[in-house]
Amino acid sequence: MTTTATDLEKAMAFDEAARVAHELRVKQDQRNRRARYLKHLFLILVSVVMLYPLFWLVASSLKPETQIFGSLSLWPEEFHFDNYTRGWNALPISFTVFYMNSAIVTLLSVVGNLISCSFAAYAFARLQFTGRTIWFALMMMTLMIPYHVVLIPQYVQFLKLGWVDTYLPLVVPKFLASDAFFIFLMVQFFRQLPRELDEAAMIDGCSPFKIYWAIILPLSLPAMGTAAIFSLIWVWEDFLAPLIYLNDIKSYTVPLALRLFLDQEGESAYGQMFAMSVLSLVPVVIFFVAFQKLIVRGIATSGMK
Amino acid sequence: MKRILARNAPGYLFLSPWLLGFFLLALGPILASLYLSFTRYDMVSDPRWIGWGNYEYMFTRDRRFWKALEVTFTYVAFAVPLRLAFALAVAMLLDKGLKTIGLYRAIFYLPSLLGASIAIAILWRELFSATGVVNQMLALVGIEGTDWITNPKTSIYTLVMLAVWQFGSPMLIFLAGLRGIPKDLYEAAEIDGTPRWRRFTRITLPLLAPVIFFNLVLQTIDAFKTFSSAFIISNGTGAPADSLLFFTVYLFNEAFKFFRMGYASALAWVLLIIIGVFTALAFLSSKYWVHYDNDRD
């Protein structure tokens, strides 16, 4: 076999083409890398701006009163935990009570939301009954209604029932699925579960409640978890309903207690106010970290991309 | 008859907590609120029917009502577009070319979870106060700031900033939407030499329209309902000079400070109608700019 000139030329041309392609790729890579660095730089900058207020809050809570408004620094010269110990008892009632109150309201609300909303969602997503579409449409419409519209008649009603200054107006609505958003969230999830499961269970003689309890709920843990976390955070931070229904300081939740600091601003207890503010955010941040994992697991188990 | 009952019983049984709530906590109160809005009611004596009196006073003589509308609409007009623009811009940065977005996503989302809390409202007051962090930073570059919170000209924008700071939740929804756009569309456009801006306006925006629509409706409704942060930052009154008199703050004061329950109910109905009109407008306009996937094939 002899190599002809044309073959040689072809081979060289290929070689050249490969070299050019390689160079282009290297250049492209370099450009991509530079773009990526720029992107990271920008995103880090945004992150710093986003987090700065939070870090400033934490730093200020650790500084003595006189140094809070003097500096931008995020590192206290000396750590001053006084604000926490004194702030905890700065109000006529200790924060232990406020945290207990908030915990009771939050816990009951989350339980109420999970039970009542999953009941309603199960009915909407898996059961056949007349009027289902109409009720579903009405449920979706309640999503749009501002709380302020139902607030006044609800208040009048709860006052007549003697429920003002108890936790009932805060908690009972949760057992009646008043947070329609969670119904919607669960309906979306329940609908994705294969229908064959219900049908097979029904043929085996399972009651609708058995199907809900033994099949739907165990398969929906990610959705239930998401609903639990969101409802926990929202109730924990809720301000309007406690503001209206709780008048006695002994029954105050944490957000109401924080507001008391503002009324005493003249006494310049900024450090203590910031310290208690930081503490009030801690549960949310902790649950946020857990929530992140839950989302990832939820996405993995449900096979969504 | 028995069969109808047997078929419907499980459904209605499971639905019963919600049904009870719907009638007692939603439908009933809404109708009661409508009735009260035509009365004078101070919670001491029974409601007294005054026809359109509340609405007439509101629209013709109540300056604070118009002020509350102005404040709320200004807030909505700035906060919603800015928050969405930020959310979309950052979502697009995160969507392409980066492998580790988890941490950024978490950092950007965190303020959305904390933003509604009283702690953050308190923090915001101090950040923008005369001696606060913002003014100290401005001083570094030689700008003399004002007392942002007590200056009626600037106070509303501190709340707009607070809203923009919470761009994380619409960002997450945009991210999910961007994932759904086929990547080969961008590759094809890039090979054809389509400039970046046109790729954005011709591919990203149209295909993302349903998600933008969803976010727009959600965020607008939310913005109209803003209460806690405005209440805390304005000391519960809408001060300074009513520049933070959000509609909800005005309503709260009328109802629970002055016990003008009838008038406050009328205010609540106006709010309901405004939100209803905006939602309806969004849905009506959506046919012109939102095209769902299924009309493509």
State the SS3 of A206-254. Answer: CCHHHHHHHHHHHHCHHHHHHHHHHHHHHHHHCCHHHHHHCCCHHHCCH
Number of H helices, E strands in chain A: 14, 0
Residue A250: pLDDT band with limits 50, 70, 90: very high
Q: What is the mean pLDDT of residues A101-118?
A: 97
Residue that the structure tokens 């419409």 belong to = A141
- What pLDDT score was predicted for residue A238? 95
- What pLDDT score was predicted for residue B48? 95
- What pLDDT score was predicted for residue B176? 81
- What pLDDT score was predicted for residue A266? 57
pLDDT of residue A150 exceeding 90: yes
| Residue pair B155/B245 in contact by the 8 Å Cβ criterion | no
- What pLDDT score was predicted for residue A34? 86
Tokens standing for residue B126: 């101090």
pLDDT of residue A268 exceeding 70: no
A274 Cβ under 8 Å from any chain B Cβ: yes
| Per-window interface: A 138-197 vs B, CB < 8 A | 138-139, 142, 144-157, 159, 173, 175-178, 183
Chains A, B: CB pairs < 8 Å: 224
Chain B residues in contact with A71 by the CB 8 A cut-off are 136
Tokens standing for residue A130: 């007349």
Residue A2: pLDDT band with limits 50, 70, 90: low
Q: What angle do CA B76, B78, B83 make, to 5 degrees?
A: 95
Which CATH architecture fits B61-295? Answer: Orthogonal Bundle (1.10)
Chain B residues in contact with A147 by the CB 8 A cut-off are 225
Among the residue ranges A250-259, A260-269, A288-297, the one predicted with the least confidence is: A288-297
State percent of chain A over pLDDT 70: 92
pLDDT of residue A37 exceeding 70: yes
d(C-alpha A57, C-alpha B119), whole Å: 9
| Residue pair A292/B148 in contact by the 8 Å Cβ criterion | no
Inter-chain contact A150–B30, Cβ cutoff 8 Å? yes
Which CATH architecture fits A93-302? Answer: Orthogonal Bundle (1.10)
Cα–Cα nearest to B167, from B231, B113, B124, B244: B113
Inter-chain contact A176–B165, Cβ cutoff 8 Å? no
Weakly modelled stretches of chain B, pLDDT under 70? 97-99, 292-297
- What pLDDT score was predicted for residue A289? 84
- What pLDDT score was predicted for residue A297? 46
d(C-alpha B186, C-alpha A276), whole Å: 50
- What pLDDT score was predicted for residue B288? 80
Alpha helices in A76-146 (DSSP H): 82-88, 95-126, 132-142
Which DSSP string corresponds to chain B? -HHHHHHHHHHHHHHHHHHHHIIIIIIHHHHHHHHHTTEE--SSSPPEE-TTHHHHHHHHT-HHHHHHHHHHHHHHHHHHHHHHHHHHHHHHHHHSS-S--HHHHHHHHHHHHHTTSHHHHHHHHHHTSTTSHHHHHHHHTT-----TTT-TTTHHHHHHHHHHHTTHHHHHHHHHHHHTS-HHHHHHHHHTT--HHHHIIIIIHHHHHHHHHHHHHHHHHHHHT--HHHHHHTTTTT-STTTT--HHHHHHHHHHTS--HHHHHHHHHHHHHHHHHHHHHHHHHHHHH---GGGT-
Q: What is the pLDDT of residues A50-105, one digit of tens each?
A: 999 999 999 989 988 777 777 777 787 778 888 899 999 988 899 999 999 999 99
Interface test with B, best of A52, A119, A149, A212 (most B CBs within 10 A): A149
Cα–Cα nearest to A50, from B75, B147, B120, B135: B120
Q: What is the mean pLDDT of residues A126-142?
A: 93
Q: In a 10 Å sphere around its CB, with 0-12 CB exposed, 13-18 middle and 19+ buried, how is residue B150 labelled?
A: middle
d(C-alpha B62, C-alpha A296), whole Å: 52
Say which residues have a Cβ less than 8 Å from residue B218's Cβ, sequence separation at least 6. B170
pLDDT of residue A171 exceeding 90: yes
| Residue pair A232/A79 in contact by the 8 Å Cβ criterion | no
d(C-alpha B56, C-alpha B58), whole Å: 5
A42 Cβ under 8 Å from any chain B Cβ: yes
CA distance B221 to chain A (A): 7
Say which residues have a Cβ less than 8 Å from residue B97's Cβ, sequence separation at least 6. A32, A35, A36, A39
Where is mean pLDDT largest: A206-210, A285-289, B46-50?
Answer: B46-50
- What pLDDT score was predicted for residue B296? 44
